[in-house]
Amino acid sequence: MKRKAAIIGSGNIGTDLMIKILRTSESIEMGCFVGIDPKSDGLARAERMGVQITAEGIDGLIKMPIWDEIDVVFDATSAKAHLYNYGKMKDFPDKKMVDLTPAAVGPYVVPAVNMDFNLNANNVNMVTCGGQATIPMVAAVSRVAKVHYGEIVASISSKSAGPGTRANIDEFTETTSEAIEKVGGATRGKAIIILNPAEPPLVMRDTVFTLSEQADRQEIRASIHEMVSEVQKYVPGYELHQEVQFDDIPEDQPVFIEGVGYKHGLKTTVLLKVIGAGHYLPEYAGNLDIMTSAALAVGEKMMK
């Protein structure tokens, strides 16, 4: 029997997630689609597809008869709005919440890395689009050698960055940096996001740099390829853009890492691209697709 879900946030991410659930999910079905703008395209689309809707936010959702049947709530609003939404959810401890904002209230979850460790939590956080794309690569290096520093640069099409993404730039960098450390295993993490205005729009590109202790390069390369395959199980458009690159940082020419000090070792560079599935958003919006795909994977595992 499928379990019912509610999605809060009627923008691009919420709408794409709704369509993924309707078209692809074997264990979750749509219960209600929630927004705050009665004229939003997302709410109109949901209504046309036969999904119950409310334009009164989580307060309106809780008042609806279907609320009693909802088992999991996906929050695709903003970091600030999530704090309010989660405050309301605390009165319903039997319901699970999957947070697609960078609010970072619950534990971080990156499905390919730590899916099974946090499924009992009532509220889990999906980090950020850049985090979902790059943290698996940091973790892949980390399981072979101690990673002193992990830095990621996420480049996304400006057209795929809606109001929510733009309002959360600071939270993006802070949350992703912290998750590089907590989930990826780096001693120090740093995240940068670039909104690329190029026309025609470019697909999501991610660059991952790690500085680790010296280790067998073939073992690191194999670990990275294995991790790419794990991510592809729920994001088929995730792939290496070029082969993994290595550089030595000599002991007599160490680099300074803020908060860590001078370090030498092996620099690993991973270049990725993420092509969206095209369920609702264009293929270039891989940054949004990886978030909704990862969130659905976590929600389905929770419900199982």
Rounded Cα distance between 33 and 148, Å, is 43
106 token code pair: 């619950």
* Whole-angstrom distance, CA of residue 43 vs CA of residue 225: 40
Candidates 79, 129, 208, 244; catalytic one: 129
Nearest 10 degrees: Cα torsion 16, 22, 28, 29: 120
Virtual torsion, Cα 284, 157, 228, 232, nearest 10 deg: -30
Does the annotation count 129 as an active-site position?
A: yes
Q: Where in the sequence numbering do the catalytic residues fall?
A: 129
